[in-house]
Amino acid sequence: MFTGLITDVGQVTAVERRGDTRFTIATGFDLDTVAIGASIACNGVCLTVVEKGQDGGPGGGRGWFKVDVSAETHSKTTTGTWQAGTPVNLERSLRLGDELGGHLVYGHVDGVIDIVDVQPDGDSQRWWFDAPPHLARFIAAKGSVALDGVSLTVNSVEGTRFGINIIPHTQEKTTFQHLKAGGVINLEVDMLARYVARLAETK
């Protein structure tokens, strides 16, 4: 489980295509404190560390870890587009007693959505996204979503489109600095919204 507060922007340094796909990701994390089998959210996708190393390894001078991604995960996320050089938002899993600064994020991406528009809004930027109807029904103004693993508050909703403000700090400290209109992004809807909708269906 995660909070959607990004603590490092890593970089894909190697891609091995086989039965599953194995990615090597360079990171600034102290990997002495990361166990094999630990969960790390990578652009919002909960992945398992299967191998790791420090400076001088495949990470190109930084610490690095490897994760395996299945065809099922590729079908629901942007992982299939990752290549060497792709920046990746990283967050380690919560520990008991950690501050919950964002919202509860599970690392279970619901789907890939379109980035429709980006416009200046004061010092911030207003981003617009278009979600398919089966996911848009879970998105409400003032509710929470995770986009590429970043916990964000929905400002407005217009049909299947919704808008979010990205403050300068978020843009600087996450992969939003590399994204633009016309691209795609991973979406995880708020689990609370999912359960509320399910309860409403069963009444």
Q: Contact at 8 Å (CB) between 30 and 63?
A: yes
Cα–Cα distance between 5 and 187 in angstroms, integer?
Answer: 15
What is residue 97's predicted lDDT score, i.e. its pLDDT?
59
Closest by CA position to 146, among listed 194, 197, 81, 178 = 194
Q: Contact at 8 Å (CB) between 136 and 128?
A: no
What is residue 168's predicted lDDT score, i.e. its pLDDT?
96
For residue 200, give the DSSP letter. Answer: H
Radius of gyration for the alpha carbons in the chain, expressed in angstroms and rounded: 17
Cα–Cα distance between 159 and 147 in angstroms, integer?
Answer: 19
Q: What angle do CA 109, 112, 116 make, to 5 degrees?
A: 135
Q: Is 147 helix (H, G, I), strand (E, B) or coil?
A: strand
What are the tens digits of pLDDT across the range 69-127?
A: 999 999 999 999 999 999 999 999 977 656 666 677 889 999 999 999 999 999 999 99
Tell me the two tokens of residue 114: 């379109």
What is residue 190's predicted lDDT score, i.e. its pLDDT?
86
Residue 119 CB partners (closer than 8 Å, separation 6+): 125, 126
Residue 168 CB partners (closer than 8 Å, separation 6+): 123, 124
What is residue 26's predicted lDDT score, i.e. its pLDDT?
96
What are the tens digits of pLDDT across the range 124-183?
A: 999 999 999 999 999 999 999 999 999 999 999 999 999 999 999 999 999 999 999 999
Q: Evaluate if residue 61 carries a pLDDT over 60.
A: no
Average pLDDT over residues 192-199: 69
What is residue 92's predicted lDDT score, i.e. its pLDDT?
95
Q: Is 27 exposed, middle or buried (0-12, 13-18, 19+ CB in 10 A)?
A: buried
Cα–Cα distance between 50 and 53 in angstroms, integer?
Answer: 11
- pTM of the predicted structure, to 2 decimals: 0.90
| Domains and their CATH numbers in the chain | 8-92 (2.40.30.20), 111-202 (2.40.30.20)
What is residue 18's predicted lDDT score, i.e. its pLDDT?
85
